[in-house]
Structure 1
């Protein structure tokens, strides 16, 4: 199976996975963080080893070959080439260049593009996963929303109106339960806004899905990988090594 066909199938799979996503008045940073979390979950559910902020698999041409680009997410698979994924709000030609280099190295290039995707033109074999949103300014801040009727898997329907004698009044509205958030604090001292795992911590702060290797300074590596070792410590044995080595059967 060639790179173009693999890219097409991976794009369709990830597009379906992100279809139910909805939010209202989120900042650009929060939208990108949530999309990254969803992409990581997509890879983990397929049984792949998922890593974030990975140095480019392919060597990048240019005047500074010693400065590799970084990919937002990489899914490593036993039954096929890795999937290199970029997540962007704007038309970043640097992202396109990185993904084309990955395609030349036989990796599957995917570009998750959110915001207004109407004018985006991306060269083959890069697969584009489109997440259209709307935006508005609130107190000087540009916030983004994604409504339920924009989801391709959801078709609005009009239910039949019951007879008057069967109409039942809705129950009184009760207090709204606050949405759970990660209990950790970011490096800037702010509360983490990412949804938590069962442990109460998100996929970035939960030690169970971090690298966990002991570095040269005797400290534990906290790079979020989705499980398993990071690039620097991938040859280190110990707890967490070999996670997500189940072959994928969908792509």
Structure 2
């Protein structure tokens, strides 16, 4: 799957997660802290390992040459590349640069922007999550307070499925080997017609010895495996002296 598609899917999912969040007259620091908490909760709800203030996965240097740049939130996944998320109130070129560098190293980049609707464009493949708030100045110091209601910003809905789309069909489960591993767990390898995998079925193993002296378990139809066949072809036996008969 392309990185742009992964980023857009992550951004749409995160936008739906953040949409129900509402508040009245919060400071900028409190809004950023609550958005960070909600992003962490989103990652945890997906079963990922979530960390905050993580050094750049792409080893991007920070403001000081001897220090790495930091990412606001990183979600590490077993079924895909990690997701790097930056959370900003304003358009920070440094955040865009960090996410682009992470994307070059294969990390999924997502940028959460809150406050006024952004006016500029976000470079691909960075996914933009817009979290619009209203602002008012109070008191003699004109302190800025931020609010958000669901009525003003309804929750985004998931993209509708095409009318011709068929319901997903589950692929038939493939039979697994009936043997157990050394740890006593079911063997995860696909079974052969004999009911065993190539590791547990000696009839389909090479039978030769590896360099470490253990039996080669490469699957074959009988006889030596391709590796040993190629090896025997690449290293032919030396010719016999003319005074010795060839008895092979």
| TM-score of the superposed pair, with normalisation by structure 1 | 0.59
Contact kept, 8 Å, 1:59 with 1:65, in 2: the verdict is no
Q: How does 1:4-83 map to 2 (within 5 A)?
A: 4-60=4-60, 65-83=65-83
> Please, which moves more after superposition, 60-69 or 42-51?
60-69
**Contact persistence 2:7–2:127 (CA under 8 A):** yes
Flag structure 1 segments of 5+ consecutive residues without an equivalent.
Answer: 156-251
Per-residue deviation, 1:118: 3.5
Aligned counterpart, 1:199: none
Q: Name 1:235's counterpart in structure 2.
A: none
Residues 81 and 107 in structure 2, CA contact (< 8 A), matched pair in contact too = yes
- 1:211-239 CA-to-partner distances (Å, cap 9, x unmatched) read xxxxxxxxxxxxxxxxxxxxxxxxxxxxx
Q: Among residues 137, 148, 152, which one is paired with 1:150 in the alignment?
A: 152
Aligned pair count reads 155
Contact kept, 8 Å, 1:136 with 1:143, in 2: the verdict is yes
Deviation at 1:120, TM superposition (A): 3.1
CA distance in 2 between partners of 1:28 and 1:132 (Å): 13
Other structure's SS at 2:21 match: coil
List aligned pairs for 1:136-147, cutoff 5 A. 136-139=136-139, 140=141, 141-147=143-149
Q: SS where residue 143 of structure 1 aligns?
A: strand
Q: Distance in 2 between matches of 1:97 and 1:11?
A: 18
Runs (5+) with no aligned partner, structure 2? 158-248
Check whether the contact 1:59–1:101 (CA below 8 A) recurs between aligned residues: no
Residue correspondence of structure 1 range 138-217 to structure 2 within 5 A:
138-139=138-139, 140=141, 141-153=143-155
Greater relative contact order, per chain length (Cα 8 Å cut-off, separation 6+): 1
RMSD: 1.8
CA distance in 2, matches of 1:49, 1:154: 26
TM-score calculated relative to the size of structure 2: 0.60
Equivalent residue number for residue 126 of structure 2: 126
CA distance in 2, matches of 1:2, 1:84: 16
Distance 1:43 1:61 in 2: 26
Distance 2:93 2:23 in 1: 27
Q: CA deviation at 1:105?
A: 0.5
- SS of the residue corresponding to residue 151 of structure 2 reads helix
| Distance in 2, Cα, partners of 1:154 & 1:68 | 36
Indicate how the Cα distance of structure 1 residues 144 and 77 shifts in structure 2: closer, same or farther if over 3 A, else same. Answer: same
